[in-house]
């Protein structure tokens, strides 16, 4: 496929306002693709060149793209920079400058999707001395051969700001529409995606032979999308729902999915980021296990040996930062509480009942291992026993409990009642909220010095593949946090409202959807201003958080992992009860 065709589709998709239209356009685009390029087209639609778990980062700053545009168009970097300060979009600038370019370049050749993709791969791989110049040349080479609309997307891509507004659910719908003319195949595609986290791979399989899809099983080093827990507010409700069940301790740590094949180990976060380098001690421990192939899950917590206490998630995650790993290994010794087994020596365990997965897991882990151990569980036959175990967990400083259905399979990528969490109460709602930052405000009074006065935040409406506002957050920030927020958010400011957001409120600045924060609130209330769960009826009200307070950044969640509109509705129902 010519890259121009793809760029033209990107352009129409970008201006399409409804999800239905976007799906149709994507399906049409897929119809024009062949099986050797479909995976690449999918990754490009996702604004990437590989699934996240490959850990590939183009790592190109705006400065380089500005230099590349200058090289390709003959304009001064200074001029481009000042245009960028005004418009905030390098894509539009590249498009405009190429439209006005009088002479076509001598090196002009028509770009193919494969050529552009290959240059982006090279871009990701160049390193060492002179790598900055090589990166600029690679982008400039593409821009020199590009038409204005191609230039728009080539310039946007390396900095990670494609702005199509297309999420994974829309791509899944479009693949189904491409194949069947309807959403009939969506469930089957989603199942395969949940087991591999790789939409490019799924699309390739679909193009090669749709029958392959139903045969997909977990693949070591392709993380399985995590199973999630529903919430309930009492031991009685949980027992009513599950009857006899296992109650697991809920650790407030860092979720890990560990993959092993022979001596190769990889550790993935909840959102498929590669964490392996940060945990050499865990890797060594896993290497000792005699099973050849393994995928299992656990929660990692830093342990304070002196005081015999677990550190919080915030402390544990310090390991993620680029400190000296050797030093931090001693400062923050880690323990992993394993709670599920998903794959063992070529066998897919996700379809096995929980109790079988758990028993097999216990057989694999040596009992005396100090660093990796099965989580602490108990089997219960009454609400009273659930309550007792819950109290014990809270007494030990844990977050709560997770009840597990004895017979349920591992439900990848979804929140179902096979796991039910019961957490400590924060205010009237027995949970915190993970919300996406969509904008911020300038400070007034004392906060004027920080140029920061609070955040506008949103939750994710998975059904609509859109974000909806739920809270303006003005409290819970330390001075240090205000400075950091201003510094980091000003880097991702947008001139306009992000396309994937529904909002009736306008903050001082919009930002790209990147950061998820955990907040507490007194309760969920109704609001005419916020769009969470609001329908098109002019008198309809949305949900809002009452007295929201910032707790911390949730580094292991992407915007699409934020609390969903559906969860808010359910939490509102629980609160009313």
Q: Which residues bind ligand ATP (CB under 6 A)?
A: 226, 228-229, 248-251, 255, 270, 299, 339, 375, 402, 421
Task: Give the nearer residue to ligand ATP in terms of CB position, either 491 or 573.
Answer: 573
> Are residues 222 and 421 in contact, defined by beta-carbon separation less than 8 angstroms?
no
Residue closer to ligand ATP by CB (options 4, 569) is 569
Shortest spacing between CB 254 and ligand ATP, in angstroms: 7
Distance in Å, CB of 310 to ligand ATP, minimum: 11
Nearest approach, Cβ of residue 312 and ligand ATP (Å): 12
Closest separation in Å from C-beta 517 to ligand ATP: 12
CA distance 308 to 63: 49
Nearer CB in complex with ligand ATP: 124/361 = 361
Residue among 67, 250, 404, 534 flagged as catalytic: 250
How far is it, in rounded angstroms, from Cα 359 to Cα 349?
Answer: 12
Q: 2 near 115, Cβ under 8 Å?
A: no
- Structural contact between residues 302 and 332, judged by C-beta atoms closer than 8 angstroms: yes
- Please say which residue, 421 or 560, places its beta carbon nearer to ligand ATP: 421
Question: Is 566 designated active site?
Answer: no
- Alpha-carbon distance 107 to 120, whole Å? 19
Closer by beta carbon to ligand ATP, 1 or else 393:
393
Residue (116 or 402) nearer to ligand ATP, CB = 402
List the 377-380 sheet strands across, edge first. 228-231, 415-423, 400-404, 245-250, 377-380
The two structure tokens encoding residue 286: 């896993």
Cβ closer to ligand ATP: 183 or 241? Answer: 241
18 three-class SS: coil
Q: What is the DSSP letter of 318?
A: G
The tokens describing 71, both together, are: 């090289």
Other CB atoms within 10 A of residue 408 CB: 18
Q: How far apart are CA 207 and CA 227, in angstroms?
A: 28
Output the CA angle 353-354-360, nearest 5 degrees.
95
- To ligand ATP, the closest distance from the beta carbon of 87 in angstroms equals 37
Minimum distance of ligand ATP from residue 402's CB (angstroms): 5
Q: What is the DSSP string of 166-223?
A: --HHHHHHHHHHHHHSSGGGHHHHHHHHHHH--HHHHHHHHHH-GGGGGG---BTTBP
Per DSSP bridges, beta strands 523-527 and 542-546 are antiparallel
Report, as residue numbers or ranges, the catalytic residues.
Answer: 250
């Amino acid at each position: 496929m010519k890259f121009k065709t793809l760029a033209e589709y990107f352009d129409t998709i970008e201006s399409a306002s409804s999800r239905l239209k976007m799906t149709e356009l994507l399906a049409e685009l897929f119809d024009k693709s062949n099986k050797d390029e479909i995976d690449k087209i999918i990754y490009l639609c996702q604004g990437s060149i590989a699934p996240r778990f490959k850990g590939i980062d183009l790592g190109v700053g705006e400065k380089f793209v500005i230099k590349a545009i200058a090289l390709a168009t003959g304009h001064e970097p200074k001029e481009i920079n000042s245009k960028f300060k005004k418009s905030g979009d390098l894509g539009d600038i590249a498009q405009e400058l190429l439209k006005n370019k009088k002479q076509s370049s001598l090196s002009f050749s028509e770009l193919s999707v494969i050529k552009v993709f290959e240059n982006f791969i090279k871009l990701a791989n160049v390193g060492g001395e002179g790598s900055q110049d090589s990166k600029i040349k690679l982008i400039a080479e593409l821009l020199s051969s590009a038409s204005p609309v191609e230039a728009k997307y080539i310039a946007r891509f390396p900095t990670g700001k494609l702005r199509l507004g297309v999420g994974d659910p829309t791509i899944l719908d479009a693949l189904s529409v491409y194949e069947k003319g309807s959403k009939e195949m969506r469930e089957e595609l989603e199942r395969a995606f949940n087991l591999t986290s790789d939409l490019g791979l799924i699309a390739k399989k679909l193009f090669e032979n749709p029958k392959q899809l139903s045969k997909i099983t977990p693949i070591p080093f392709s993380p399985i999308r995590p199973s999630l827990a529903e919430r309930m507010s009492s031991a009685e409700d949980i027992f009513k729902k599950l009857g006899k069940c296992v109650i697991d301790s809920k650790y407030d740590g860092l979720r890990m999915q560990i993959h092993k094949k022979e001596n190769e180990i990889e550790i993935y976060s909840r959102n498929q980021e590669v964490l392996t380098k940060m945990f050499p001690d865990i890797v060594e421990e896993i290497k000792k296990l005699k099973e050849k192939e393994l995928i299992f899950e656990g929660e990692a917590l830093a342990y304070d040996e002196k005081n015999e206490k677990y550190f919080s998630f915030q402390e544990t995650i310090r390991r993620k930062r680029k400190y000296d790993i050797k030093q931090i290994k001693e400062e923050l010794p880690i323990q992993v509480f394993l709670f599920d087994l998903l794959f063992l020596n070529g066998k897919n365990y996700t379809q096995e009942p929980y109790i079988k997965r758990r028993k097999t897991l216990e057989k694999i882990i040596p009992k005396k291992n100090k660093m990796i151990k099965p989580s602490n569980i108990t089997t219960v036959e009454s609400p009273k026993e659930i309550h007792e175990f819950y109290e014990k967990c809270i007494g030990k400083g844990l977050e709560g409990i997770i009840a597990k259905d004895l017979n349920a399979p591992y439900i990848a990528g979804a929140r179902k009642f096979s796991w039910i969490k019961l957490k400590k109460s924060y205010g009237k709602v027995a949970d915190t909220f993970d919300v996406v930052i969509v904008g911020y405000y300038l400070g007034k009074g004392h906060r004027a010095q920080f140029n920061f006065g609070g955040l506008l935040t949103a939750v994710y409406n998975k059904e609509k593949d859109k974000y909806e506002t739920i809270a303006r957050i003005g409290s819970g920030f330390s001075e240090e946090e205000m400075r950091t927020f201003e510094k980091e958010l000003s880097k991702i400011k947008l001139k306009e409202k992000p396309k994937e957001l529904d909002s009736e409120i306008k903050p001082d600045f919009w930002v790209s959807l990147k950061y998820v924060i955990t907040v507490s609130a007194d309760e969920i209330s109704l609001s005419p201003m916020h769009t969470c769960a609001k329908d098109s009826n002019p008198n309809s009200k949305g949900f809002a958080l009452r007295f929201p307070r910032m707790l911390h950044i949730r580094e292991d969640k992407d915007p699409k992992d934020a609390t969903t509109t559906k969860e808010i509705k359910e939490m509102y129902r629980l609160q009313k009860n």
